[in-house]
């Protein structure tokens, strides 16, 4: 017998939530919510293809390689094109940049209405698609720098993560969940396919102050800096008062989403192959760090707060250590002890 009683909590879609949050931006006359609606529309289109990846001839490689030198999965290309299309028609966006494109796209940075730059990774972890593992989209929104003669797109993009005015991600897992923040807490919305809307499911997410999982690619441990292995050994030996389990998907967005909801720590340290870290600062580490801090967590590159890093290039890499306050405090003690 289905429960016919009226739903106790009202359905709040992400568009309604964005409009409420929009009030925090004096003078942003709907342009901001219109911008974010470009991301929600694009990710609905992306998830529709991700869900069908095994059914259509969209699996496998696209054959070309992107700026990262990785083999582009066809879904990568599709996701990139969809985000560029949906965001490109938002007149408030002057500059777009993507993990898939070496150079930023200058849309209309001369226009007085173009107040924002958006940088994104259209489909992070896409090498996992062929084996049906969760993947994600990450995005970061920056305000146009002061001064109306800012014609260099890099100036729009190369701002520290603390300057993000919005950021978030979508995880394409058993369900499709959008997590975003405009600096007023981190909020999660689950896509309800029956109505085609992202519905509020995780209001004002708080990352637990401690967790029981650590998440790192142990295959690289021989090349981690010594203090990282010292730290991981302490977790394994219960130095923080309880046993930890290892959880590593090898796909940043679901690995972080678990850390956000369950607590613990995710690490992508410097390695022999990636001495400055593998993950990208602008469109992976910054949005993740923004969400983590909004939920009460901590994010560093091993030495500095991620959001304080002054970027020098769009595809710049960084180590990323992000998680609960307890695990991050212990990590900082181990690293500073050297
Ligand atoms: P590794 C996926 O390719 C990715 O960019 C992130 O999503 C993920 O966290 C990381 O690389 C995994 O890298 O070296 O552990 O396979």
Whole-angstrom distance, CA of residue 298 vs CA of residue 310: 18
Collapsing DSSP to helix, strand or coil, 202 comes out as strand
In this structure, the answer to whether residues 151 and 176 fall within a common structural domain is yes
Give pLDDT, residue 82: 97
Whether the Cβ atoms of residue 269 and residue 302 lie closer than 8 Å to each other? yes
Give pLDDT, residue 10: 74
Whether the Cβ atoms of residue 328 and residue 265 lie closer than 8 Å to each other? yes
Q: Is residue 26 part of a domain?
A: yes
In this structure, the answer to whether residues 25 and 172 fall within a common structural domain is yes
Residue to mutate (ligand 1; options 68, 73, 268; most atoms within 8 A of CB) = 268
Q: Which atom of ligand 1 is nearest to the CA of 219?
A: 15
Give pLDDT, residue 46: 96
| Dihedral angle of Cα 98, 197, 55, 136, to the nearest 10 degrees | 30
Q: Which pair of tokens denotes residue 63?
A: 């054959």
Q: Is residue 3 part of a domain?
A: no
Q: Is residue 283 part of a domain?
A: yes
| Ligand 1 neighbours by CB, cut-off 6 Å | 124-125, 127, 217, 250-252, 255, 268, 278
User: What is the CA(217)–ligand 1 centre distance, in A?
Assistant: 9
Whole-angstrom distance, CA of residue 276 vs CA of residue 281: 11
Whole-angstrom distance, CA of residue 267 vs CA of residue 252: 10
Q: Which atom of ligand 1 is nearest to the CA of 250?
A: 12
In this structure, the answer to whether residues 199 and 228 fall within a common structural domain is no
Give the strand pairing for 116-124 and 105-106. unpaired
Whole-angstrom distance, CA of residue 141 vs CA of residue 168: 9
Q: Which pair of tokens denotes residue 93?
A: 């966006």
Whether the Cβ atoms of residue 107 and residue 97 lie closer than 8 Å to each other? no
Tell me the pLDDT tens digit for each residue of 27-86. Answer: 666 777 888 899 999 999 999 999 888 776 666 667 777 777 666 668 899 999 999 999
pTM: 0.93
Residue 41: other Cβ atoms inside 10 A: 15
In this structure, the answer to whether residues 225 and 171 fall within a common structural domain is no
Residue nearest to atom 5 of ligand 1 (CA): 125
Q: Which residues pair with 198 in a beta bridge?
A: 191
Residue nearest to atom 12 of ligand 1 (CA): 250
User: What is the CA(136)–ligand 1 centre distance, in A?
Assistant: 12
User: What is the CA(1)–ligand 1 centre distance, in A?
Assistant: 45
Whether the Cβ atoms of residue 35 and residue 89 lie closer than 8 Å to each other? no
Give pLDDT, residue 149: 60
Give the strand pairing for 197-202 and 279-280. unpaired
Give pLDDT, residue 71: 62
Residue to mutate (ligand 1; options 127, 258, 278; most atoms within 8 A of CB) = 278
Give pLDDT, residue 58: 62
Residue 117: other Cβ atoms inside 10 A: 27
Q: What are the strands, taking DSSP E only, across the chain?
A: 61-65, 71-73, 93-98, 105-106, 116-124, 135-143, 164-172, 176-181, 187-192, 197-202, 213-215, 245-246, 265-268, 279-280, 298-300, 317-318, 320-323
Q: Is residue 299 part of a domain?
A: yes
In this structure, the answer to whether residues 193 and 309 fall within a common structural domain is no
User: What is the CA(251)–ligand 1 centre distance, in A?
Assistant: 5
Maximum Cα interatomic distance, the chain, rounded to a whole number of Å: 64
In this structure, the answer to whether residues 38 and 163 fall within a common structural domain is yes
Give pLDDT, residue 130: 84
- The string over 282-293, giving b where at least 16 C-beta atoms fall within 10 Å of a residue's C-beta and e elsewhere, is bbbbbbbbbbbb
In this structure, the answer to whether residues 142 and 243 fall within a common structural domain is no
For position 43, which CATH number holds?
3.30.540.10
Give Rg (Cα) of the chain.
20
Final residue before a domain boundary, out of 159, 178, 204: 204
Q: Which domain holds residue 72?
A: 14-204
Residue to mutate (ligand 1; options 125, 246, 321; most atoms within 8 A of CB) = 125
Final residue before a domain boundary, out of 204, 221, 251: 204
Residue nearest to atom 9 of ligand 1 (CA): 252
Q: Which atom of ligand 1 is nearest to the CA of 135?
A: 7
For position 226, which CATH number holds?
3.40.190.80
All residue ranges of the chain with pLDDT < 50 are 1
Whole-angstrom distance, CA of residue 117 vs CA of residue 156: 6
Q: Is residue 107 part of a domain?
A: yes
φ, ψ dihedrals at 270, nearest 5°:
-60, 140
**Residues in CB range of 336: below 8 A, 6 or more apart:** none
Q: Which atom of ligand 1 is nearest to the CA of 127?
A: 3
Whole-angstrom distance, CA of residue 292 vs CA of residue 260: 7
User: What is the CA(32)–ligand 1 centre distance, in A?
Assistant: 31
């Amino acid at each position: 017998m289905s429960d016919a009683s009226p739903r106790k909590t009202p359905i709040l879609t992400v568009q309604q939530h964005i409009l409420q949050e929009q009030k925090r931006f004096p003078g942003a006359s709907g342009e901001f919510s219109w911008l974010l609606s470009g991301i929600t529309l694009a990710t609905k289109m992306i998830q529709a293809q991700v869900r069908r990846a095994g059914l259509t001839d969209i699996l496998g490689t696209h054959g070309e390689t992107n700026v990262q030198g990785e083999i582009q999965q066809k879904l990568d290309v599709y996701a990139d094109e969809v985000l560029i299309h949906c965001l490109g028609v938002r007149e408030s966006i002057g500059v777009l940049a993507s993990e898939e494109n070496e150079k930023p796209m200058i849309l209309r940075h001369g226009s007085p209405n173009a107040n924002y730059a958006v940088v994104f990774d259209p489909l992070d972890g896409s090498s996992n698609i062929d084996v049906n593992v969760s993947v994600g989209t990450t995005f970061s929104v920056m305000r146009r720098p002061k001064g109306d003669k800012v014609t260099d797109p890099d100036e729009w993009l190369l701002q520290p993560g603390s300057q993000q005015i919005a950021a978030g991600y979508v995880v394409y897992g058993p369900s499709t969940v959008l997590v975003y923040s405009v600096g007023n807490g981190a909020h999660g919305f689950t896509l309800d396919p029956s109505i085609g809307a992202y519905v509020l499911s995780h209001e004002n997410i708080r990352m637990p102050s401690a967790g029981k999982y650590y998440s790192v690619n142990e295959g690289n441990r021989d090349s981690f800096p010594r203090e990282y292995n010292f730290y991981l050994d302490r977790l394994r030996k219960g130095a923080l008062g309880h046993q930890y389990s290892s959880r590593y998907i090898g796909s940043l967005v679901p690995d972080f989403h678990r850390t956000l909801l369950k607590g613990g720590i995710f690490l992508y340290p410097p390695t022999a192959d990636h001495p400055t870290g593998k993950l990208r600062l602008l469109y992976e580490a910054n949005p993740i760090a923004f969400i983590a801090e909004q939920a009460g967590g901590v994010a560093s590159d091993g030495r500095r707060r991620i959001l304080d890093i002054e970027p020098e290039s769009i595809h710049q890499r960084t180590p990323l250590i992000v998680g609960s306050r307890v695990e991050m405090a212990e990590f900082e003690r181990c690293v500073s002890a050297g």
